[in-house]
Amino acid sequence: MTRHLLTGTELGGDEVITLLDRADALKAAPMSSRALEGRSVALIFERPSTRTRLSFEAGIFELGGQPVVLRSDDLQLSRGESVGDTARILSRHMSAIGVRTGPDALLQELAREATVPVFNMLTAGHHPCQALADLMTLREAFGSLEGLKIAYVGDGNNVARSLALVGALVGVEVAVASPEGYTLTDAPGALLTTDPAEAVAGAHAVYADVWVSMGDEETADARRDALAPYRLDDALLDLAAPGAIALHCLPAHPGEEITAKLLYGSRQRIWDQAENRRHAQKAMLELLLA
């Protein structure tokens, strides 16, 4: 059966832990696996990316495979070829297909028609590859995920949802503080509040993401107003558990959702988190293609 990673909930909790163990091993020895030897992996970007593109391209190369990056305009999809036919053709040449796009429905349709694994490189609804790297980073910082709590403060978006859904698989408690109108939906198990202090109480990590996600540009001003009280700064981090770390999926807007002091200071694991994308995704590709 073809395995996909569209939301992360396709994985079992034990599988996530095994994947994180594998990611740690690949971080220690990046060139130790030839799992993609002689295989090509399509990476379709309908939206911009820095980390996701770089980490997948470098990671696939390290696994002995060839990444094939396709921007929207590169495919006949942009001239009306159907998603299904695109999936059928990609499946004849590629060993797996990664997609970054807006609509989750497009990714789902592609996965239905593809006969090779399809993985989500960010949609409006989900960012599971990010969540895997986030959990890897937490485990590095605290040794184990047991008993950990993460507080996400800001827009209830794709990153928040994946953190809540994938965190739940491994028993990590996720609290999300957002202003009214920006509340996280479709993430059963997450603790939702409008109060950042309540979310952050007892948390081992406090997580920020941009206030204006890709596709939300038209409502940017309203978002900046509503989200201003949800900035991640030292004072908010002080309300978390002692030794709590700051996380951010990046790209950052220092002075908006996070202060420059935290972003570049000693209380964060943000840059390790960005590196861990590559290691976690290599483990994910090994699992999907096993």
Q: Does the active-site annotation cover 127?
A: yes
Considering CB distances under 5 to 8 angstroms, the limit depending on partner class, which of ligand NVA, ligand CP, none binds residue 50?
A: ligand CP
Looking at 130, 268, 273, 281, which residue is catalytic?
130
Cα(120)–Cα(130) distance, integer angstroms: 10
* Residue 250 binds ligand CP, judged by CB under 6 A: yes
Q: Residue 125's closest CA among 184, 197, 85? A: 184
Q: Does the active-site annotation cover 209?
A: yes
Q: Which helix (H) or strand (E) holds 96?
A: strand 96-100
Q: Does the active-site annotation cover 108?
A: no
Which of residues 50, 76, 78, 185 is near ligand CP by CB under 6 A? 50
Burial class, 140, CB count within 10 angstroms (exposed 0-12 / middle 13-18 / buried 19+): middle
Helix extents (H) in 5-50 = 13-28
Q: Which helix (H) or strand (E) holds 248?
A: strand 245-248
* Residue 213 binds ligand CP, judged by CB under 6 A: no
Looking at 4, 22, 100, 161, which residue is catalytic?
100
CB burial of 192-207 (b: ≥16 within 10 Å; e: otherwise) equals bbeebeebbeebbbbb
* Residue 276 binds ligand NVA, judged by CB under 6 A: no
Q: What are phi and psi of 113, to 5 degrees?
A: -95, -20
* Residue 51 binds ligand CP, judged by CB under 6 A: yes
Which of residues 46, 62, 173, 209 is near ligand NVA by CB under 6 A? 209
* Residue 158 binds ligand NVA, judged by CB under 6 A: yes
Q: Does the active-site annotation cover 129?
A: no
Smallest separation (angstroms) from ligand CP to the CB of 131: 11
Which of residues 49, 66, 108, 183 is near ligand CP by CB under 6 A? 49
Residue at token pair 């960010």: 122
Cα(177)–Cα(183) distance, integer angstroms: 8
Q: Does the active-site annotation cover 88?
A: no
Q: Which residues are part of the catalytic machinery? A: 100, 127, 130, 209, 249, 277
Binding interface with ligand NVA (CB under 6 A): 122, 157-159, 209-210, 213-214, 249
